[in-house]
Amino acid sequence: MPTREYASLWYPKFGVKKYHEEGHFGQNVSVYIIDTGLTNSESLLKHVKSRSITNSMGQKNTHGSFVASIVAAKKEYSPDKVSGIAPECQVFLADVTDAQGKIFTSYLVKAIQDAIDLHVDIISISLGTSVYDQKLENVVRAAANQGILVFAASGNCSCRTYEFPSACDEAISVASMDQNRHKSPFNTRNDSVTVFAPGQNISVPGSTKKLSGTSFAVPFASGLAALELSKRRSILPKYIMTRTEAVGFLRSTLGLTCEEHTYSNDTCSGHLNGGSFRPNETDGLSWFLLLASISGFLAFWTSSLFRTRLSGWR
């Protein structure tokens, strides 16, 4: 959940505080988060609606709760009296892990289709795979064609691997930056990266440790887009923000010009306007959850990503 340190560091710098002062908290905007499920003890997010994807209890890891709280935590439920970025959004959280904690492409595809069926405005995805899948590309395109903004984590491998769905042309691939707007060293570096958002050394309550990962940059970017969309809808209730508008808004608001913060010369003109998939530079058939391990609802960043091996790929 957001803390006083988190809010005081990021909110004024990137306009969140100003939106709140003007009365914009994400009203009339819906966000669909794809991650692990809510923890049983998570009262901060009792207004978040869980979606059943795998027909399994899954492993209710606090990763999903933390990601959701960055967007949606309500001030009145917070011990620190700090809200998430867009606490008045309608928020859904889909758990895409099975009882063994595994994730398959079919789960992710099903969740994105569920978001399409619900006619949400924004999809926030803090996971991915280095293996390209046509069905995944198709459903991301279908979401975009419905006017849904699809934000996805670029990955944490410090390499040039392409991760999907963030590398899909219709997605908005989010990498991490620190408080000085420097690119985080753990970012996956490829020309699908579209925007950078706060995701490094995030303070958590009840711990001296800090969290880092593109997992946490995604809900920040999603939440900020939700605030701007909410503001525009206060004037034009049926306003739909295009991908190009969202990317331009985030680059401007986050203070990162594409020319200064890019992993390839064609990030600005190429991927933003569409492009093509490039071959993966790794062969492993493995899903990763961009997972900051949080014990008991708030713990510390692990030294390596939690990765699960695919079995029975489908």
Measured on CA atoms in the order 194, 198, 204, 209, is the torsion positive or negative? positive
Ordered by start, the domain boundaries in the chain are 4-304
Contact by Cβ (8 Å): 130, 280: yes
Task: Give the H/E segment covering residue 306.
Answer: strand 306-309
Helix (H, G, I), strand (E, B) or coil at 198: strand
Other Cβ atoms less than 10 A from the Cβ of 311: the count is 10
> In the 8-state DSSP scheme, what is residue 167?
T
What confidence tens digit (pLDDT) does each residue in 245-284 have? 999 999 888 876 555 556 654 444 333 333 333 322 222 2
pLDDT at residue 33 is higher than 70: yes
Q: Which of 190-194, 215-219, 289-293 holds the top average pLDDT?
A: 215-219
Residue 302 above 60 pLDDT?
A: no
pLDDT at res. 293: 38
pLDDT at 260: 54
Residue 250's closest CA among 175, 155, 170? 175
Q: Which residues of 244-264 are buried (b: 16+ CB within 10 A; e: fewer)?
A: ebbbebbbebbebebeebbbe
For the domain made up of 4-304, give the CATH fold: Rossmann fold (3.40.50)
Task: Express each pLDDT in 127-161 by its tens digit.
Answer: 998 889 999 999 999 999 999 999 999 999 888 88
297 pLDDT above the threshold of 60: no
Q: Which residue has the higher pLDDT, 86 or 81?
A: 86
- What are the CA-CA distances from residue 169 to residues 155, 183, 210 (Å)? 16, 22, 32
What is the chain's mean pLDDT, rounded?
80
pLDDT of residue 266: 41
**Whole-angstrom distance, CA of residue 222 vs CA of residue 174:** 10
